[in-house]
Amino acid sequence: MEIRLLDPRDAAAYQALRLQALRGSPHAFSASHDDEAARSLDEVAARIVPAADGSVCMFGAFEHGELAGFVALIHPQRAKLRHGVELAGMYVAPAWRRHGLGRALLQAVIAHARAIDGVRQIGLGVNATNAAAKALYASAGFASWGVQPQALRVGDAFYDEEHQLLRFDAGN
Ligand SMILES: CC(C)(COP(=O)(O)OP(=O)(O)OC[C@H]1O[C@@H](n2cnc3c(N)ncnc32)[C@H](O)[C@@H]1OP(=O)(O)O)[C@@H](O)C(=O)NCCC(=O)NCCS
């Protein structure tokens, strides 16, 4: 397994896996397949390349050279928000689940965030019914601080979203 930042050469593999994620795990993402299916490879490349100002980057997990998972880290650049980063869009392909890729991606995000001067915490949102993701985040020390009722609508069903935080100053 290799964990590294994605770059424009990964655009085609990322787009294929991202659309697989949106199709196969609609309850895990706020974006829908139709939102992203029409994106050109140039748009995708621009989206996955680390932003020059450090506001966003995307980590990929590779098995035998193939992209098998990804996660994004968003770092707001406004002065009053710079002490926090947001984790978003975590996904591991079904064939590679329970092989440690999700944990490795999470550890990469945590290490990256810890290395940014002034960052004190990582936030994320997770569907309250997503037991696998919640177990993964809990194992890294994330704690829930609130639940937004009916935050996500998929078809006719509504899902609560759990907001979680990993605070570096709390011994994590
Ligand atoms: C959640 C997800 C990223 C986990 O990825 P993964 O590579 O399978 O996770 P890992 O193998 O690194 O597992 C790490 C820990 O997470 C927990 N975990 C992972 N999958 C689990 C499951 N199905 N049930 C219970 N706990 C689970 C366990 O604590 C596990 O540690 P263990 O294997 O030592 O018991 C993956 O299931 C996935 O992509 N799901 C669909 C998309 C999704 O839900 N994304 C999250 C959006 S917030």
Query: What tokens appear for 50 in the block?
Result: 């680390």
Pairing of strands 56-63, 2-5: antiparallel
pLDDT per residue as tens digits for the range 102-141: 999 999 999 999 999 999 999 999 999 999 999 999 999 9
Q: Is the CB of 97 inside a 6 Å radius of any atom of ligand 1? A: yes
Number of domains in the chain: 1
What predicted TM-score, i.e. pTM, was given to this entire model? 0.97
Q: How far apart, in Å, are the Cα atoms of 91 and each of 36, 61, 74, 81, 95?
A: 16, 10, 16, 26, 12
Three-state DSSP class for residue 63: strand
Show the domain range for 54: 2-170
Q: Which amino acid is at 119?
A: V
CATH of the domain at 110: 3.40.630.30
Q: Ligand 1, from 18, 130, 136, 163: best to mutate by most atoms within 8 Å of Cβ?
A: 136
Q: Is the CB of 139 inside a 6 Å radius of any atom of ligand 1? A: yes
Residue 122: its pLDDT value, please? 98
What is the distance between the terminal CA atoms of the chain, rounded to a whole angstrom?
A: 25
Average pLDDT rounded to a whole number, residues 42-68: 96
